[in-house]
């Protein structure tokens, strides 16, 4: 069964909210259209046995609303661990829905990965997103869960392609085939993280542009861009810098080809804000906004050009 | 449910270096079941992948970062080399369980309290930061007041650590720090000096208000 592609509002250019970025958001003008928030920071989870389980962070909500300054807010979660084989936490999904009603998320998303695993009588939180086997069995695990999320939270739901430092050997599908099939069969959209694609391409030696060319881009609801750094022979999705040229090239090629994309979000960890600097970040936001505006004006759409990775 | 066992083993390869080394050395025989032959083969291959070590680096960085954020003065006092050893010993017996990591920080406090540590200041700093966590942690209802007994001047001791210095020759000052928190307001600390030589504490004459929040008493 093929589900229709979710329809998202055309929001424009956003920034992933972190408290240290408040000065950036306060200074931003029309180059910033929306703010993306990790909803998990808005509450404290006291554990499944606790009643009540979730306590709201009122101060955190006030800080977010002040920083967003009436701009739309979308949610990008980190706590669902939708790929965990032994657990699917519908209470967490319901908590996202409670906050959607409060803040009016236009859409919400999480990561196509797992970070919670069974361990003894409890669970283990690895704290980083781990890859899933790109097998039929994984699709069968995820599809009913995605449908459950879509029923419980009545706005489009997107999953983000993962960054991985080791790949699962002997998968049944390559990444584009896996993502295409998952979106078709579940009705979820995709947060296409171009910096993740670029990072994986550098670390595993494949052609990012060729991979993107195999994807069904009508599923892309949001695009993530960021900068990274080298460590011990790996390139890391560290969210530590402005957008590198090869990621710009990927974005300029793909954005006009994503008919249902609702926004492009720039990600930077708050601890890097001072060293990167407000001016460089705002320059990237203005460039993103100009690209977004050009793509929304079909008559002036830039001609797609070949993509070359550095 | 072999996928469940596969994910547990994959997570353990990152979190438990002893387990990773066993899989590297002994192959599939070191893997607990039930696993399919393909899953076992995948795990053995991953155990030898350089990317696994990078994931372990990121995992440790994430976990240590949480401890540094929640116990900044204790981590500063321990110095990097001692901190690394203590954290490794703690993590060996305590897999990461919580997403917020506040319970882990409290467990690390309890772990350190049972360790033979040479710093003459550690018990006081540890007790203070544990009290801060208890006051600032999310809970239903008001936070219970906290009382921390000091043998050294807490203003000098905690002030030095908060400023990024190692405390040296902090003068003796037997006293109590009394902490309380009202709703969303910052933590308030009251310093109550002891009346020597009996060791009783004098609220009337020795008390002073410290309006600082968190780690800067």
pLDDT tens readout for residues B101-147:
788 899 999 999 998 877 899 999 999 999 999 998 878 888 899 99
Q: What is the pLDDT of residue A305?
A: 47
Residues B20 and B83 occupy one common structural domain: no
Q: Walk along chain A (310 residues) in steps of 10 and give the mean pLDDT of each run.
A: 77 96 90 95 85 87 88 96 96 96 96 93 90 98 98 97 97 98 97 98 98 97 98 96 98 97 97 95 97 79 44
> Is B148 domain-assigned?
yes
3-state secondary structure chain A: CCCCCCCCCCCEEEEECCHHHHHHHHHCCCCCCEEEECHHHHEEECCCCCCCCEEECHHHHHHHHHHHCCCCEEEECCCCCCCCCCCCCHHHHHHHHHHHHHHCCCCEEEECCEEEEEECCEEEEEEEEECCCCCHHHHHHHHHHHHHHHHHCCCCEEEECCCCCCCCCCCCCCHHHHHHHHHHHHCCEEEEEHHHHHHHHHHHCCCHHHHHHCCCHHHEEEEEECCCEEECCEEECCCCCCCCHHHHHHHHHHHHHCCCCCEEEECCCHHHHHHHCHHHHHHHHHHHHHHHHHHHCHHHCCCCCCCCCC
pLDDT tens readout for residues B29-55:
999 989 999 999 999 999 999 999 999
Q: What is the pLDDT of residue B188?
A: 92
Contacts A128 to B, Cβ<8 Å: 14, 55, 58-59, 62
How far is residue A190's CA from residue A7's CA, in Å, rounded to a whole number?
A: 12
Is the domain defined by A14-295 classed in CATH 3.40.1000.10?
Answer: no
CB atoms within 10 A of CB B69: 11
For residue A150, the distance in angstroms to the closest alpha carbon of chain B comes to: 24
Q: What is the pLDDT of residue B148?
A: 96
A119·B8 Cβ contact <8 A: yes
A126·B1 Cβ contact <8 A: no
User: Does the model's ipTM exceed the 0.90 cut?
Assistant: yes
| Selected residue with higher pLDDT from B161 and A47 | B161
Residues B166 and B85 occupy one common structural domain: yes
Residues B6 and B76 occupy one common structural domain: no
Contacts B14 to A, Cβ<8 Å: 126, 128, 130
> Is B28 domain-assigned?
yes
Which residue in the set A117, A169, A234 is minimally distant from B54, CB to CB?
Answer: A234
For residue A152, the distance in angstroms to the closest alpha carbon of chain B comes to: 23
Q: What is the pLDDT of residue A233?
A: 94
Length of chain B: 217
Start-end of H helices in B30-146: 37-47, 50-70, 72-93, 102-113, 122-136
Q: Does A298 lie at the interface with B, CB-CB under 8 angstroms?
A: no
Residues B41 and B115 occupy one common structural domain: no
Q: What is the pLDDT of residue A51?
A: 85
Q: What is the pLDDT of residue B120?
A: 92
> Is B87 domain-assigned?
yes
For residue B57, the distance in angstroms to the closest alpha carbon of chain A comes to: 10
Residues B87 and B177 occupy one common structural domain: yes
For residue B213, the distance in angstroms to the closest alpha carbon of chain A comes to: 15
**What's the pTM?**
0.89
What angle, 0 to 180 degrees and rounded to 10, lies between the N-to-C axes of helices B17-26 and B2-15? Answer: 110
> Is B57 domain-assigned?
no
Residues B102 and B204 occupy one common structural domain: yes
Q: What is the pLDDT of residue B211?
A: 39
Note which residues in 251-280 of chain A have CB less than 8 A from chain B. Answer: none
Residues B35 and B86 occupy one common structural domain: no
Domain positions in chain A: 14-295
For residue B180, the distance in angstroms to the closest alpha carbon of chain A comes to: 18
Residues B113 and B42 occupy one common structural domain: no
How far is residue B156's CA from residue A239's CA, in Å, rounded to a whole number?
A: 38
Q: What is the pLDDT of residue A114?
A: 97
Q: Please count the structural domains in chain B.
A: 2
> Is B59 domain-assigned?
no
Domain that holds residue B151: 68-210
> Is B60 domain-assigned?
no
B interface residues, A as partner, C-beta within 8 Å: 1, 3-4, 6-8, 10-12, 14-15, 38, 41-42, 45-46, 49-52, 54-55, 57-59, 62-63, 95-100, 137-140, 184
Chain B, nearest residue to A86 by Cα = B4
Chain A, nearest residue to B61 by Cα = A127
Q: What is the pLDDT of residue B136?
A: 85
> Is B201 domain-assigned?
yes
pLDDT band at B184 (very low <50, low <70, confident <90, very high): confident
Q: What percent of chain B has pLDDT over 70?
A: 88
């Amino acid at each position: 069964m093929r589900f229709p592609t979710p329809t998202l509002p055309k929001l424009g250019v956003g920034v992933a909210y972190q408290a240290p970025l408040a000065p950036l958001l306060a200074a931003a003008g029309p180059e910033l259209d929306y703010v993306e928030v990790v909803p998990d920071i808005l509450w404290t989870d006291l554990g499944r046995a606790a009643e009540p389980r979730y306590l709201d962070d009122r101060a955190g909500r006030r800080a977010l609303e002040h920083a967003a300054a009436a701009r739309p807010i979308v949610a990008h979660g980190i706590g669902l661990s939708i790929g965990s084989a032994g657990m699917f936490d519908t209470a967490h999904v319901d908590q996202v829905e409670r906050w959607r009603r409060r803040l009016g998320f236009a859409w919400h998303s999480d990561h196509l990965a797992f970070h919670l695993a069974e361990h003894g009588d409890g669970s283990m939180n690895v704290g980083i997103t781990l890859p899933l086997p790109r097998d039929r069995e994984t699709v069968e695990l995820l599809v009913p869960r995605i449908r459950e999320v879509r029923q419980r939270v009545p706005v489009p739901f997107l999953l983000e392609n993962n960054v991985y430092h080791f790949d699962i050997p002997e998968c049944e599908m390559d990444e584009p085939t896996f993502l295409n099939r998952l979106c078709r069969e579940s009705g979820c959209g995709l947060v296409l993280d171009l910096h993740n694609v670029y990072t994986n391409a550098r670390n595993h030696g494949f052609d990012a542009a060729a991979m993107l060319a195999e994807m069904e881009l009508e599923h892309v609801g949001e695009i993530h861009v960021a900068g990274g750094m080298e460590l011990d022979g790996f390139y890391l999705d560290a969210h530590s810098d402005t957008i590198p040229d090869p990621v710009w090239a990927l974005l300029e090629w793909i954005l006009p080809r994503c008919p249902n994309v609702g926004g492009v979000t720039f990600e930077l960890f708050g601890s890097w804000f001072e060293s990167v600097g407000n001016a460089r970040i705002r320059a990237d936001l203005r460039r993103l906004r100009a690209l977004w505006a050009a793509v929304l004006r079909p008559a002036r759409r830039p001609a797609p050009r070949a993509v070359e990775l550095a | 449910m072999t996928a469940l066992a596969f994910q547990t083993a994959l997570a353990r390869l990152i979190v438990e270096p002893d387990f990773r080394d066993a899989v590297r050395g002994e192959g599939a025989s070191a893997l607990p079941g039930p696993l399919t032959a393909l899953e076992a083969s995948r795990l053995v291959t991953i155990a030898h992948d350089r990317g696994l070590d990078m994931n372990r680096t990121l995992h440790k960085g994430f976990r240590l970062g949480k401890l540094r954020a929640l116990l900044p003065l204790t981590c500063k006092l321990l110095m990097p080399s001692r901190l690394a050893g203590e954290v490794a010993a703690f993590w060996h017996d305590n897999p990461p369980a919580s997403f917020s990591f506040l319970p882990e920080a409290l467990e690390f406090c309890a772990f350190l309290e049972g360790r033979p540590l040479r710093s003459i200041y550690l018990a006081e700093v540890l007790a203070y930061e544990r009290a801060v966590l208890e006051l600032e942690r999310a809970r239903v209802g008001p936070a219970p007041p906290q009382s921390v007994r000091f043998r050294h001047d807490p203003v000098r001791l905690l002030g030095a650590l908060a400023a990024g210095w190692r405390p040296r020759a902090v003068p003796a000052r037997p006293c109590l720090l009394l902490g309380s928190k009202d709703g969303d307001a910052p933590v308030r600390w009251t310093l109550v000096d002891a009346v020597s030589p009996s060791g009783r504490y004098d609220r009337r004459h020795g008390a002073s208000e410290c309006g600082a929040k968190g780690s800067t008493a």
